[in-house]
Amino acid sequence: MRNSRTRVPEDLLWLHLKDLPAFRALLRATEARFYAPLPFPEPVLDLGCGDGHFGAVALPRPPDVGLDPDLRPLREARRRRAYRLLLRAEGGHLPFPDAAFGTVVSNCVLEHIPDVGPVLQEVARVLRPGGPFYFSVPGPDFLALLSIGRALDRLGLRPLGNLYRQFFHRISRHYYYDGVEGWQARLARAGLQLLDARPYLSPRALAAVEWGHYFGLPALVAKKLTGRWVVWPSRPNLWLTERIVRPFYEETSSEKGGCLFITARREIDRTQINGNYLP
């Protein structure tokens, strides 16, 4: 059975660090802080829920519905038993009626979808008028802020720096690095209104995530062999890792960051407002 109670606030970094590679834990815990004070009118859809870890651990309470096109991570999400319902479907064809959800969340998902326009249109369709849509994406400075690329640039090896950025782009499987204006226009075409956009992952924090991709290879081996990223999730075992990662997690907000956390909402048709839809 799913626990429908709101989660008691805990150390978001530790909740991720004990289950995930350090770089992914830092990234997800940083994003989780954005969600903590936000309203979540029910029911809540997690669009692109993956293995369900973020929805089960990071949000103020687990979403009602998780949806993903990939069957393998959905099986893992089912084992977490955090969602009322898990579905395999494409974001461009959501199997829900109009205005079915009070909130839609899509954390680090949209940048991996080649044709994101139909997905945003579907989000607008299944949201109630005025319902919030929260999502995170890499920003326009993501590639430029990569530490190895910047180091090569400083050494006068800009062509190598560009090759490195192309390499990281490929392994990240990103299609978009838009700024606020780009997402605002894309959302508006779908009937969604951008309300707020906040940068996160300072150059230092992004460097930690970047290098974590390489130092996290042992965690990948552990996942393949045991089904777990962290074989021994104890404070003593992860003491040094936590000590290295926590200063990046506790950074204050930066004006320049590699990613954007965006709050939007479905536009309200003032000619059709009724009390049944407004959250």
For residue 223, the model assigns a pLDDT of 82
pLDDT digit of tens for each residue in the chain (279 aa)?
343 344 445 689 999 999 999 999 999 999 999 999 999 999 999 999 999 999 999 888 899 999 999 999 999 999 999 999 999 999 999 999 999 999 999 999 999 999 999 999 999 999 999 999 999 999 999 999 999 999 999 999 999 999 999 999 999 999 999 999 999 999 999 999 999 999 999 999 999 999 998 988 888 888 888 888 888 889 999 999 999 999 999 987 677 899 999 999 998 765 444 444 333
Q: Among residues 257, 263, 261, which one has the least CA distance to residue 140?
A: 257
113 secondary structure, DSSP code? -
- State the residue for tokens 């949209």: 110
Largest alpha-carbon pair distance within the chain?
A: 62
What CA–CA distance (Å, rounded) separates 224 from 139?
Answer: 31
For residue 60, the model assigns a pLDDT of 86
Query: 95: which 2 tokens?
Result: 């199997």
For residue 32, the model assigns a pLDDT of 94
The dihedrals phi and psi of 275, each to the nearest 5 degrees, come to -65, -15
Indicate the length of the chain as a whole number. 279
Beta bridge partners of 262: 135, 197
What is the tally of helices (H) and strands (E) in the chain?
Answer: 11, 7
What CA–CA distance (Å, rounded) separates 188 from 192?
Answer: 5
* 12-140+175-266 CATH choice from 1.10.10.10, 3.30.43.10, 3.30.479.30, 3.40.50.150: 3.40.50.150
Per the confidence metrics, is the pTM higher than 0.85? yes
Sequential DSSP letters for 79-124: HHT--SEEEE--TTS--S-TT-BSEEEEET-GGG-SS-HHHHHHHH
CB 22 within 8 A of CB 248: no
For residue 269, the model assigns a pLDDT of 67
- Give the HSE-up count for residue 125: Cα atoms under 13 Å, Cβ half-sphere: 14
Q: Which residues of 223-255 are buried (b: 16+ CB within 10 A; e: fewer)?
A: beeeeebbeeeeeeebeebbeebbebbeeeebe
CB 260 within 8 A of CB 197: yes
